[in-house]
Structure 1
């Protein structure tokens, strides 16, 4: 006589609870994180020069910012440098104003027209 069993299906609900899935996602995300790059004085000065040049001539830029282990790119025009809050304000391509802290900036690239 053959035993009719559901096999692995009966354990599927117990092993993959929503908390378990979210924990697995967090572990995968933690493995993909990278340390923040350390910039020396020359690199920081070069970033500042590019930002000032882009603001003076209203050139489009791509600013890479580091946030919680990941780098994100923002595109737009440099609108304002705020020395008190230590941030750069850029107007993105869709017209939104983005604020990026100086400490979070990893790379600045001027886009050639």
Structure 2
């Protein structure tokens, strides 16, 4: 007598559980996260001078920003430095202004383009 098994059909309802899908997504997100890089005083001072140089000469600046375990890049012109809130206002190439906390910036690169 042959065993009549439903095969993969019996596991199908388990994949539709929203809690399972949410937990799987969160697990994937956590696996891709990186820790915040530690910067010494010299690196911070060098980044500050590059940001001021880019703002003074209206150069294109590429900021590498760490936020919530992920890094991304913002490219634009430094519009204004907010010393009280410790933020950098960056006017992007699209014309929008983004405010970036200075503590979230991990790298600065200045382009030769204006």
How far is the alpha carbon of 1:5 from its aligned partner? 4.3
The residue that corresponds to 1:9 in the other structure is: 9
The residue that corresponds to 2:27 in the other structure is: 27
Contact 2:15/2:21 (8 A) holds in 1: no
Q: What 5-or-longer segments of structure 1 have no aligned partner?
A: none
What CA distance in whole angstroms lies between the structure 2 residues aligned with 1:66 and 1:9? 43
How far is the alpha carbon of 1:15 from its aligned partner? 4.3
Task: Provide the alpha-carbon RMSD of the alignment.
Answer: 1.4
2:67 corresponds to 1:67: yes
How far is the alpha carbon of 1:16 from its aligned partner? 4.2
The residue that corresponds to 2:36 in the other structure is: 36
What CA distance in whole angstroms lies between the structure 2 residues aligned with 1:96 and 1:15? 41
1:15-74 per-position Cα deviation (integer Å, ceiling 9, x unaligned): 441210111111111011111011101000000000000000000011011101111100
Q: What 5-or-longer segments of structure 2 have no aligned partner?
A: none
TM-score by length of 2: 0.92
What CA distance in whole angstroms lies between the structure 2 residues aligned with 1:25 and 1:87? 32
What CA distance in whole angstroms lies between the structure 2 residues aligned with 1:100 and 1:23? 30
TM-score by length of 1: 0.92
What CA distance in whole angstroms lies between the structure 1 residues aligned with 2:8 and 2:81? 59
The residue that corresponds to 1:91 in the other structure is: 91
